[in-house]
Amino acid sequence: MAFDEAAIRRHMLVTPGAMAAADERTIAGGTERAVLIRRAARAITRVLRSRYAKQPTVILCGPGHNGADGISVAEMLIEAGWPVEVVLLDENQDLSDRLGVLSRVRPSGTFSPRAGMLVIDALFGAGLSRLLEGEALMLIERLELSQATCLAIDLPSGLDGQTGEIRGAAPYADATVTFHRLKPGHLLGHGPERCGKVFLADIGIEAEEDDAGALHNHPDLWRHLLRPSKRDTHKYEKGHVTALGGPGLKGGAGRLAARAAAVSGAGAVTYLTPLSSAEFAAASFDAVMVAPFHGPDSVTDLTYKRGGACVFGPGMGHGDAAKEALLAVLETEIPCVLDADALTLFEKKPGELFEKLHPNCVLTPHEGEFSRLFGEMEGSKLERACKAAKKAGAVVLLKGSTTVIAGDGLPLVNSNGSAALATAGAGDVLAGLIAGFLAQGMAAAEAAAAGAYIHADAASGQGPGLEAEALPPLIASVLKNLVAPTH
């Protein structure tokens, strides 16, 4: 099974280099650059006029294609009667054939953004590969610190289109209009906070699958893999999840993972816990089965009998028996999710884990666990996750407000994260949910992508009082809307 091919083309993220190549490919195919500029300007103007009332507007125009878009927007707004001024980064730019715009040009030194003013940032786009400096830096710093409303073209100037990092300064845009496909920088690093609402415009750029540097996670990619239930489906046909919990007071995390697996659509879940905790665990569940954990054989015997998938880590503890059980199950190559304690167990000897991992494994570290397991890595979150996946030989889901999923195919960026998920136990729920999808036959990357999106969507609209215990029923509701029943 794999991601939907048509959806891949719709939801691919294009690097700045690939975007420049796509531009040139389209022009070589017979579309004049001036035509692309006019199409971009019309798209920008449509967004602008639908979103903002007529007001004093300043357009900051750089020396490249972004600046050309800005000048074309200026012409359209002037024609519509907007009060427009233009600031050129290159004040020697020849506008002799565009007298309407030329009459609106003002010296950069007069740029004084303020509340009640709309500023269109057309200085630099995704192709910026250096720190802002000089006059450009001065203009953007003034805008960044002001109360003016900013509409950015392509990306806010100074925001790296590949990484989302800030190159000197970058404004806080209320909205950003970009073209063809989103860039990684819209979603990574400071991108979400600086871009505001992102509008994607089709201006006729020719798309090729090779342009994709990553995918923007979306249900279109994996919805077809969610297994609808037929009337005569048996529970074990829907997959079995084994969740290994820990002793005594640490069991709550494991129980959260088990509950999440149970609402994923998996047919059955067994929660293994030390005998001393089994009675308490059994009293905590209605639909999840409980069995005593005596050592590695408890897990391997169950997985041999039931198959499916395992989730290790939430509340598992750091004991030798748990570690031995994990390594024993990895030997069988049954699909596994490793989270929390399952990662911490190997932070001093990560190679011991890496040599046992296989492509059906999903690791779900947060940034701290990631650094302890993989060491300090350079690069963007996307680049680091890809390096880690290659090193581990497994799928790595690097958690955060923006989550990255990397395996042996195109990585995915999940951007629908919610601040409500910053609560104890939310990660345990995610681990169990992914295990549930693995048990139903999804491949590791697809299960991780579906889990990340659905987990975040379940928390969407919830306030700061969200508790992890509330997530499983919310997840069930999201799944109900995603999966069409089969009769």
Verify that 201 and 234 share a domain, yes or no: no
Query: CA 266, CA 433: separation in Å to the nearest integer?
Result: 9
Ligand-binding annotation for 33, yes or no, is: no
264 is in an annotated binding site: no
Task: Please indicate if the annotation marks 366 as binding a ligand.
Answer: yes
Say whether 94 counts as a known binding-site residue: no
Residue 14 is part of which domain span? Answer: 5-213
401 is in an annotated binding site: yes
Indicate if 203 and 148 belong to the same structural domain: yes
Residues 436 and 343 both lie in one domain = yes
pLDDT tens sequence for the chain (487 residues): 589 999 999 999 999 999 999 999 999 999 999 999 999 999 999 999 999 999 999 999 999 999 999 999 999 999 999 999 999 998 777 766 776 777 788 888 899 999 999 999 999 999 898 999 999 999 999 999 999 999 999 999 999 999 999 999 999 999 999 999 999 999 999 999 999 999 999 999 987 767 788 999 999 999 999 977 777 666 767 899 999 998 877 789 999 999 999 999 999 999 999 998 999 999 989 899 999 999 999 999 998 898 899 999 999 999 999 999 999 999 999 999 999 999 999 999 999 999 999 999 999 999 999 999 999 999 999 999 999 999 999 999 999 999 999 999 999 999 999 899 999 999 999 999 999 999 999 999 999 999 999 999 999 989 889 999 999 999 999 999 998 655 4
Verify that 315 and 432 share a domain, yes or no: yes
Residues 372 and 438 in one domain: yes
Domain shared by 258 and 302, yes or no: yes
**Residue 181 annotated as binding site:** no
131 is in an annotated binding site: yes
157 a known binding residue? yes
> Is residue 301 part of an annotated ligand binding site?
no
Cβ contact 59:122 at 8 Å? yes
* Residue 23 annotated as part of some ligand binding site: no
Does the annotation place 403 within a ligand binding site?
yes
Q: Is 241 in the same domain as 258?
A: yes
Q: Is 460 annotated as a binding residue?
A: no
Please tell me whether 428 is known to bind a ligand: yes
- 168 appears as a binding residue in the annotation: no
* Total count of domains within the chain: 2
Residues contacting residue 307 through CB under 8 Å, at least 6 positions apart: 239, 240, 334, 439
Give the domain-ending residue among 159, 190, 213: 213
**66 annotated to bind ligand:** yes
* Ligand-binding site membership of 50 (annotated): no
- Pairing type for strands 197-201 and 336-338 reads unpaired
Has 121 been labeled as part of a binding site?
yes
